[in-house]
Amino acid sequence: MHEPLTATEYKAIAAGLQLPTNAFIDGAFRPANSGKTFTSINPATGEVLAEIAACDSSDVDFAVEKAREAFEDGRWRLRSPGERKEALLKLAKLLERNRHELAVMESLDSGKPVRECQTVDVPDSIHTLRWHAELIDKLYDNTAPVGANALTMIVREPIGVVGCVLPWNFPLLMLAWKIGPALAAGCSVIVKPAQETTLTTLRVAELALEAGIPAGVFNVVTGSGREVGEPIGLHMDVDMVAFTGSTPTGRRFLRYAADSNLKKVVLECGGKNPAVVLDDAEDLDLVAEQVVNGAFWNMGENCSATSRLIVHARVKDELMKRIGAYMREWKTGDPLDPENRIGALVSKSHYEKVKSFLDDAKTEKLSVTQGGETYNGIFIEPTLVEDVTPASRLFQEEIFGPILSVTTFNTLAEATALANDTNYGLTASVYTGSLRNAIRLTRDIRAGLITVNCFGEGDATTPFGGYKESGFGGRDKSVFAHDNYCELKTIWIDISDRSVDETIR
């Protein structure tokens, strides 16, 4: 079902695409109030894809008004969980029907290899929507053990109007991670896609209306962080913001909440994720394959990317040889060619940021032992930088590009200290043949997700989010994500003969 097509087929789909250009508010595509637009560019070719509505705070105000109206009149919230489930399942089906179109749109907009869009982003987004849809009519609320004189119900209620502020690295999937649980819970959403990647979000909003999700429930306001993200963060009638992006912008949302209505804020921010390889790792081939996948999948534009390889000195040389061999299999080039695993970086400015780490490696005289080439001012080859120390910027800062730094250790304590020597704490992976060492490291490394003898982000059933500056306020995915989008209400019903004063203490 989600097998890749050929390059010729993808190019034919690209040539026939109708790209959305306007914001989507109250069930209709609308230009920005100001009439302004911004240009959406295919980063791989530099070609203009579309002129998109550049909204501002007046469009945000209108979207919030419509989302609030939809929430209060109950056109979605008051549908039974089973009815919301059916509409979300229909949306998932429509995504499936349009899977090739969505994969190509995502690839053109972001520079991601279409092969990954087709085999990961689109099917995982569909699965996420289905999973949250299927969850919603199987959740029970609670009662509390208060004794015979009262009945106490603890019920979840949808939190209200939710601003979903999205990044550009997994536009469709991050949309699904946010709207899946939010819509299932009965909330209304205002989605603000990253300016770099607006197209698939707009298309999904249109499909949501077709699926029976009522007008006003799923709104998309396009534009910049300053003009759209900030007004959402500061809005007095937005009940929650769910954000994925950089830690500095995440901090801003906490300030916006403090300066406005104390809206709930859930942040999924950056990472500087280690892969720790012990000298008792059983299969160095498997380790190499997983590390390469972790580091270079999605060009390393991934908050959970393996960014630091921390390897025992005794196995380092052998592992490097195998990593080198796997890296050579990852071809860089045209994202619409399914043979390529490395596409374009998302934008010129992001390319410049990633390239600055290559420049630093040279300035610091670190060993660039593989890759390091750049093409057309937008492609960067998978690159290995060895002998990196914790003092280096490559060890400390999120690169968000296809560069893997390598550092060696000699003892388990040293490995743990290196892994934790970061302000981030999103993910880590551990490679060892010893159960004891695996448990020791998974307990001692401070991160929200730790994989053993593999790289991955879990599946829809597992929570995703970080410790330290990688996250705040909750997790994406799983039943825990559902709870982000709910308030807990306690209802205490006195059934005693006595006065209320005596009953509630």
Ligand X SMILES: NC(=O)C1=CN([C@@H]2O[C@H](COP(=O)(O)OP(=O)(O)OC[C@H]3O[C@@H](n4cnc5c(N)ncnc54)[C@H](O)[C@@H]3O)[C@@H](O)[C@H]2O)C=CC1
- Segment contacting ligand X by CB under 6 A, of 28-36, 55-63, 264-272, 366-374: 264-272
- Closest Cα partner for 108 from 26, 193, 176, 14? 14
Q: Site mask, ligand BAL, residues 452-481, x = CB under 6 A?
A: -----x------------------------
CB of 27 or CB of 180, closer to ligand BAL: 180
CB of 215 or CB of 242, closer to ligand X: 242
255: contact with ligand X by CB under 6 A: no
291: contact with ligand X by CB under 6 A: no
290: contact with ligand BAL by CB under 6 A: no
Residue 457 binds which entry of ligand X, ligand BAL, none, CB below 5-8 Å type-dependent: ligand BAL
**Span 313-352, contacts to ligand X by CB under 6 A:** 350
Strands in 45-185 per DSSP E? 48-53, 142-143, 150-158, 161-165
Q: What is the DSSP letter of 229?
A: I
- Closest Cα partner for 332 from 111, 39, 37? 111
CB of 278 or CB of 346, closer to ligand X: 346
Q: Which of 197, 273, 290, 302 binds ligand BAL (CB under 6 A)?
A: 302
Burial code (b: 16+ CB inside 10 Å, e: under 16) for 209-246 equals bebebbbbbbbbbbbebebbbbbbbbbeebbbbbbbbe
Conformation bin of residue 377: beta by default, left when phi > 0, alpha when psi is -120 to 50: left
Structure tokens at 482: 């559902």
As measured in angstroms, the least distance from the Cβ of 283 to ligand BAL is: 25
Cβ atoms of 102 and 200 closer than 8 Å: yes
Residue 304 binds which entry of ligand X, ligand BAL, none, CB below 5-8 Å type-dependent: ligand BAL
Strands in 223-263 per DSSP E? 240-244
Cβ atoms of 202 and 55 closer than 8 Å: no
469: contact with ligand X by CB under 6 A: no
Structure tokens at 216: 């006003």
CB of 127 or CB of 353, closer to ligand X: 353
Q: What is the DSSP letter of 166?
A: -
What count of residues does the chain have? Answer: 505
Cβ atoms of 360 and 372 closer than 8 Å: no
Cβ atoms of 358 and 379 closer than 8 Å: no
Longest Cα–Cα distance of the chain, Å, equals 81
SS3 (DSSP) at 111: coil
Cβ atoms of 399 and 357 closer than 8 Å: yes
Residue 489: beta bridge partners? 155
Residues 457, 465: Cα–Cα separation, whole Å: 10
As measured in angstroms, the least distance from the Cβ of 67 to ligand X is: 18
As measured in angstroms, the least distance from the Cβ of 151 to ligand X is: 44
194: contact with ligand X by CB under 6 A: yes
382: contact with ligand X by CB under 6 A: no
As measured in angstroms, the least distance from the Cβ of 19 to ligand BAL is: 24
CB of 169 or CB of 432, closer to ligand X: 169
Query: Closest residue to ligand X, Cβ-based?
Result: 229
Residue 192 binds which entry of ligand X, ligand BAL, none, CB below 5-8 Å type-dependent: ligand X
304: contact with ligand BAL by CB under 6 A: yes
Q: Which of 226, 328, 362, 443 binds ligand X (CB under 6 A)?
A: 226
**Span 150-169, contacts to ligand BAL by CB under 6 A:** 167, 169
List the catalytic residue out of 268, 381, 386, 397: 268
- Torsional sign, CA 150, 77, 54, 170: positive
Structure tokens at 88: 């979300």
Residue 398 binds which entry of ligand X, ligand BAL, none, CB below 5-8 Å type-dependent: ligand X
- Is 303 labeled as catalytic in the residue annotation? yes
- Segment contacting ligand BAL by CB under 6 A, of 6-14, 204-212, 301-309, 323-331: 301-309
Structure tokens at 54: 């550049």
Residues 42, 50: Cα–Cα separation, whole Å: 9
Query: Closest residue to ligand BAL, Cβ-based?
Result: 303
Give 19's contacts (C-beta < 8 A, 6+ positions apart).
40, 49, 50, 105, 199
273: contact with ligand BAL by CB under 6 A: no
CB of 409 or CB of 464, closer to ligand BAL: 464
List the catalytic residue out of 55, 117, 269, 303: 303
**Which residue is it, tokens 């040293």?**
414
**Residue 257, CB-side half-sphere exposure with 13 Å CA sphere:** 20
As measured in angstroms, the least distance from the Cβ of 131 to ligand X is: 20
Q: Which of 20, 27, 111, 167 binds ligand X (CB under 6 A)?
A: 167
- Is 373 labeled as catalytic in the residue annotation? no
CB of 116 or CB of 334, closer to ligand BAL: 116
CB of 427 or CB of 451, closer to ligand X: 427
Give the rounded distance of the alpha carbon of 59 from its chain centre. Answer: 25
Number of residues counted as binding ligand X (CB under 6 A): 27
CB of 227 or CB of 386, closer to ligand X: 227
Type of residue numbered 469: E
List residues near ligand X by CB under 6 A: 165-169, 192, 194-195, 224-226, 229-230, 233, 244-246, 249, 252, 268-270, 303, 350, 353, 398, 400
Catalytic residue numbers, as ranges? 268, 303
List residues near ligand BAL by CB under 6 A: 167, 169-170, 174, 244, 302-304, 457
